[in-house]
């Protein structure tokens, strides 16, 4: 049986349930057909995927620029764009078939605050920055840190969605974190009392600007190094 949006979900969906329902239909249909979502996932789409992502939105401040690394089928980037009209979201994904799906979703849902970039995250250093980076099932934290932190604005944050091993990953990433001006790094639980299984996030917050490496220039969507909006 395919699950549906719970009746009491509006508290965390900010009255934008209809947008997420459109996205859910796309995940169940083309998303499964193209192998971007497993055939068993529609049975737990809201509980395991959509609400699991939506509950992290309180960690993102008003009007932020969000860069979603390794977006895949759009989790969590498209979910955040659906529930938050005030943030600009850039979806970063290197695989052509996933990019095509993301672009179709953005058009079908009618999201005007989303940009899709077909590029590897490692290639963006020196080109774009954001105030918040999100990542779900992209890489272990010690590998994600050097990939992500060069893309952050001063005092920006990385929100890495993790499972039960989040604390162990944070410990294992200590050496990688020491190479950057990290102000704080902790494990945050989101959605307690709202979803059956709360979401675990490793949050890394920068102090001053990281040393950025890579080619100069700017891509559309997230902030350029000069602070503009593409």
Host H or E run for residue 169: helix 166-172
Beta carbons within 8 Å of 207's beta carbon, 6+ residues apart? 154, 155, 181, 182, 183
pLDDT (tens place) for every residue of the chain, 230 residues total = 456 666 667 778 888 999 999 999 999 999 999 999 998 888 889 988 999 999 999 999 999 999 999 999 999 999 999 999 999 999 999 999 999 999 999 999 999 999 999 999 989 988 899 999 999 989 999 999 999 999 999 999 999 999 999 999 999 999 999 999 999 999 999 998 888 889 999 999 999 766 643 333 334 345 533 333 22
- Rounded to two decimals, the pTM is 0.88
Burial of 100 (0-12, 13-18, 19+ CB in 10 A): middle
Q: Identify the structural domains of the chain with CATH numbers, from first to last.
A: 10-206 (3.40.50.150)
Joined tokens for residue 202: 């490793």
152-162 and 88-92 beta bridge pairing: unpaired
């Amino acid at each position: 049986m395919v699950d549906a949006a719970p009746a009491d979900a509006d508290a965390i969906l900010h009255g934008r349930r209809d947008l997420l329902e459109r996205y859910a239909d796309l995940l169940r249909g083309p998303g499964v057909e193209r192998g971007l979502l497993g055939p068993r996932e529609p049975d737990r789409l809201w509980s395991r995927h959509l609400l699991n992502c939506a509950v992290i939105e309180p960690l993102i401040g008003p009007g932020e620029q969000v860069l979603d690394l390794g977006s895949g089928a759009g989790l969590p980037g498209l979910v955040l764009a659906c529930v938050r009209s005030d943030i600009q979201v850039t979806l970063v994904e290197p695989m052509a078939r996933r990019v095509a799906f993301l672009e179709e979703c953005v058009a079908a849902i009618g999201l005007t605050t989303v940009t899709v970039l077909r590029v590897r995250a490692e290639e963006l250093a020196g080109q774009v920055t954001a105030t918040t980076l999100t990542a779900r099932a992209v890489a272990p934290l010690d590998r994600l840190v050097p990939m992500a932190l060069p893309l952050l604005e001063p005092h920006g944050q990385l929100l890495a969605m993790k499972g039960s091993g989040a604390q162990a990953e944070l410990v294992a990433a200590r050496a990688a974190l020491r190479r950057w001006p990290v102000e704080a790094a902790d494990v945050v639980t989101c959605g307690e009392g709202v979803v059956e299984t709360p979401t675990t996030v490793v949050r890394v917050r920068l102090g001053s600007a990281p040393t950025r490496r890579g080619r100069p220039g700017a891509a559309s969507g997230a902030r350029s190094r000069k602070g503009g909006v593409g």
